[in-house]
């Protein structure tokens, strides 16, 4: 796990470069030091903005304060605390369409 948003972006950048396995999805806490989760989500999307077949992994915001803008600024979100069934549902929404 990344300790802040900057580290999370670095992990995804390394995966995109082939330095480690790619991510199917990224679970990102909205409130993190250095770079918050929503800024990190935007930075991750920017990594994949250029030409090419690679698509950014979906970024699922995790927040205790679920606001509509959290969902608009990420692929989806989960309000904390959440149940395993909630996590499975959001992963199903975000990952299944990409695999099709």
Statement: the pTM of the whole predicted model exceeds 0.85: no
For residue 82 the two structure tokens come to 């959440």
**Nearest CA among 26, 25, 35 for reference residue 3:** 35
Q: pLDDT tens string for the chain (100 positions)?
A: 899 999 999 999 999 999 999 999 999 998 888 899 889 999 999 999 877 767 889 999 898 876 666 556 677 888 889 999 999 999 998 886 665 5
| pLDDT given at position 97 | 63
The residue to which tokens 């975000």 are assigned:
94
* Cis previous bond, 81, omega within 30: yes
User: How far is Cα 14 from Cα 84, in angstroms, rounded to an integer?
Assistant: 28
pLDDT at 69: 62
């Amino acid at each position: 796990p990344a300790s802040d948003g900057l580290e999370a972006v670095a992990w995804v950048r390394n995966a995109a470069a082939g330095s480690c396995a790619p991510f199917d999805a990224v679970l990102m806490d909205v409130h993190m030091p250095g770079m918050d989760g929503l800024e990190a989500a935007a930075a991750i999307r920017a990594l994949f903005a250029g030409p090419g077949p690679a698509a950014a992994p979906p970024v699922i915001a995790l927040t205790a304060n679920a606001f509509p803008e959290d969902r608009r600024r990420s692929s989806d979100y989960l309000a904390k605390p959440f149940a395993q069934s909630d996590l499975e549902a959001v992963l199903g929404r975000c990952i299944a369409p990409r695999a099709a």
